[in-house]
Amino acid sequence: MKDGPTAGSARPVLEMRGITKRFPTGTLANDGIDLDVRRGEIHALLGENGAGKTTLMNILYGLLVPDAGEIRIDGAVATIHDPADAIARGIGMVHQHFMLVPVLTVAENVILGQEITRAAQILDLAEAGRRIRALGARLGFDIDPGARVSGLSVGQQQRVEIAKAVYRDVRILVLDEPTAVLTPQETREIFGVLRALRQDGASIVFISHKLDEVLEIADRITVIRRGRVVGSRRPGETSEQELADLMVGRSVSLRVDRGTSHAGAPALEIVGLRANDDRRHETVRGVDVTVRAGEIVGIAGVAGNGQDELIECLVGLRRPTAGAVRLAGRDVTRASVDRRRDVGFAFVPADRHRYGLVLPYTVRDNLVLTRYAERPYVGGLGTFIRQDAAIDEAARRLIAEFDIRTPSERDPVSTLSGGNQQKVIVAREFRQDLKVMVLDQPTRGLDVGSIEFIHRQVIARRDAGVGVLLVSAELDEVLELSDRVLVMHRGRIVGEFAASEAQRDRIGLLMAKGAAA
């Protein structure tokens, strides 16, 4: 145990017994799950995407009704019909996607639904502000009640969400993948807050699929696979490897063996590149990067340091204000997205729902989304008519080759799990005649099994002579995959490292400060 009291009393605050939930589609999301959470305990719920963690917590929060099973709070059976019931029983939930009103202030968001009023229904924001400040002090974070939520960083917004729950005297706080959107520093800070909450006697259910975090923060870990509890561990008694194997149901390798790279001729050359963001602020301020064929170059950096604009310049969605981009020796600075693809360029976007997929489309249409106008997918009248047979055939081949789990190629891609959705993009982009790949956080939000698969694919492509540029805010991933690591800070490359764990701290510092202290 790392610190703090491990559960004051042994009697569970929350017991869930035999929770079973089958969705109308036939999926058995929860299959007789038992879970108990004690007072003053951080209880991690670990499992792959689609294992049923979120379903279970949605049942607890009254968003779903279970088909069978019962929930006991303080030993008494509780029926929870809706979130209002859950809140009344002291259950709070911080969703993966925050439920804040951006135009309101922190105080207004926190008290929303529980407004303090003086006489005549006038909001007493001053009093609310005082309470929120006191709450922040107790939990060890700075919080400005008057700040507008839209101006806060993701990490700050999450603290507002937690403050919102604590403000309502929450006794059981559920956090759904709270660190998925945070930087390492922010993660550390939120862990401090959670520990403070535990000290106060609150019970915390922490949903995650990140092994290191779970081991660091949790007092107990319950592992769920395919709707069933497959094990329960204490951090001191287990390892990342064991947890990963439990989660996936087979032995997985957590670290892919990168092997050695054999860098060849320059595949992607970025020369003196400058670009503005949508508000015409210069966010890329003179970037020079060369990626050679057969090597993986990682760009580490805290989100918002110009990576997005840099990537858009590479993909062809943004015009740089100065500088040049060359693909396999050819200047493509002003070339269209299409032309770059023709030269042998592939791109895996960070936000797959926004950029990578058309969710209502079928798997097959998504598998040809970036090649929809190429033969053999089109024919007749030039390139006007889509060739369904050819598309079907290619889709079935890619589904088999990349082991995409889908009932058929004609199901909507939105019905697939996150990992399988990402596989659809990877299958589409990792084509045979590639020269350069740009990967923007290619495994964000994916589970161990999918990460392993995608990392292997990336390395296989590198070994086949593709130049890979990996951009990620997750230092772990950059360090694990890259042959060389560059650090980007405020629109510039501020450091270059041969990838090895030894450099981790220096890289982290450069990411945060831009210059070695």
Which structure tokens are listed for 245? 């194997």
Q: DSSP readout, 90-129?
A: TEEEE-SS----TTSBHHHHHHTTS--B-GGG-B-HHHHH
Q: Please, which residue, 26 or 360, has the CB nearer to other proteins? A: 360
What does 391-418 look like in DSSP terms, one character per residue? Answer: HHHHHHHHHHHTT---S-TTSBGGGS-H
- Is 389 or 515 the residue whose CB approaches other proteins more closely? 389
Reference 242, options 216, 221, 218, 227; nearest CA is 221
Least CB distance to other proteins at residue 383 (A): 6
Q: Which residue's CB is nearer to other proteins, number 65 or number 373?
A: 373
Pairing outcome for strands 436-440 and 228-233: unpaired
37 vs 350 by CB, closer to other proteins? 350
Q: How far is the CB of 430 from other proteins (least distance, A)?
A: 16
Q: How far is the CB of 402 from other proteins (least distance, A)?
A: 19
Q: What is the smallest separation between the CB atom of 492 and other proteins, expressed in angstroms? A: 25
Instruction: Please say whether the beta carbons of 412 and 362 come within 8 A.
Output: yes
Residues that bind other proteins (CB under 8 A): 24, 278, 315-317, 319, 336-338, 341, 347, 349, 354-361, 365, 369-370, 372-373, 378, 383-386, 388
Tell me, what DSSP letter sits at residue 25? Answer: T
- Shortest distance, position 437 Cβ to other proteins, whole Å: 14
In 3-state terms the chain splits into helix, strand, coil percentages (rounded to 5) of 35, 25, 40
> Which one, 384 or 407, has the nearer CB to other proteins?
384
CA 480 to chain centre: 17
First and final CA of the chain: distance in angstroms?
A: 33
> Closest separation between CB of residue 315 and other proteins, Å?
7
Instruction: Pick between residue 220 and residue 318 the one whose CB is nearest to other proteins.
Output: 318
Q: Between vectors from CA 286 to CA 285 and to CA 288, what angle results, nearest 5°?
A: 140
Q: CB nearer to other proteins: give 158 or 370.
A: 370
Q: Nearer Cβ to other proteins, position 43 or 274? A: 274
Task: Give the nearest distance from C-beta 96 to other proteins in angstroms.
Answer: 19
Name the strands in the sheet holding 228-233, side by side, starting at the edge strand that comes first in the sequence.
Answer: 91-94, 172-176, 203-208, 42-47, 220-225, 228-233
Cis peptide before 178 (omega within 30 of 0): no
- Residue 218: CB minimum distance to other proteins, A: 35
Q: Name 439's bridge partners.
A: 348, 470
